[in-house]
């Protein structure tokens, strides 16, 4: 997967991260922070490998 952008999204009415808005293979996606989700697992892998970083939520 080619991940070109990743940014945390807050849970509604909180300042707690709920998901990651990411562009994967050219497609914008809302990726839940669930390690069983294949997109989130890949984001974590690429973060661990130092390939990408996840921007803080607004």
Partner 1 sequence: MATNIVGATGIDKVQDGIIVNADIDTVAASKLTGALPAISGASLTNIPAANITGTLPAISAANLTAIPAANITGTLPAISGANLTGISSQGRNLFINGGFDVWQRGTSLVAATSYLADRWWNSTTETQTRQTFTVGQTDVPHNPTYYHRGSSGSTEWYGLKQCIEDVGITAGREVTLSYWAKGSSAFTNAPFRGQNFGSGGSSEVNAALSTASITTSWARYTHTFTWPSISGKTVGAGSFIRINLIRAQVNNVTIDLANCQLEFGDTATDFEQRTYGEELALCQRYYEDFPGTIQGGADTTGINMYMHIPYKVTKRVTPTITYGTLYQTIINSSVHGFGVRRSGGEAYINDAKSDAEL
Among the listed residues 55, 56, 22, 17, the one whose alpha carbon sits nearest the alpha carbon of residue 39? 22
Question: What is the size of the binding site for partner 1 (CB under 8 A)?
Answer: 21
Which residues, numbered 3-22, are part of the site for partner 1 (CB under 8 A)? 9, 11-12, 18-19, 21
In the bound complex, what is the minimum distance in angstroms from residue 35's beta carbon to partner 1? 5
Q: Does 27 bind partner 1 (CB under 8 A)?
A: yes
Euclidean distance between CA atoms 52 and 14, whole angstroms? 25
Residues near 38 by beta carbon (within 8 Å), at least 6 away in sequence:
none
Site residues, partner 1 (CB under 8 A): 9, 11-12, 18-19, 21, 25, 27-32, 34-41
């Amino acid at each position: 997967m080619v991940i070109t952008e990743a940014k945390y999204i807050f849970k509604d009415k909180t300042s707690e991260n709920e998901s990651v808005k990411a562009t994967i293979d050219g497609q914008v996606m809302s990726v839940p922070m669930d390690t069983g989700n294949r997109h989130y697992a890949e984001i974590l892998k690429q973060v661990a490998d130092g390939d990408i970083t996840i921007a803080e939520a607004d």
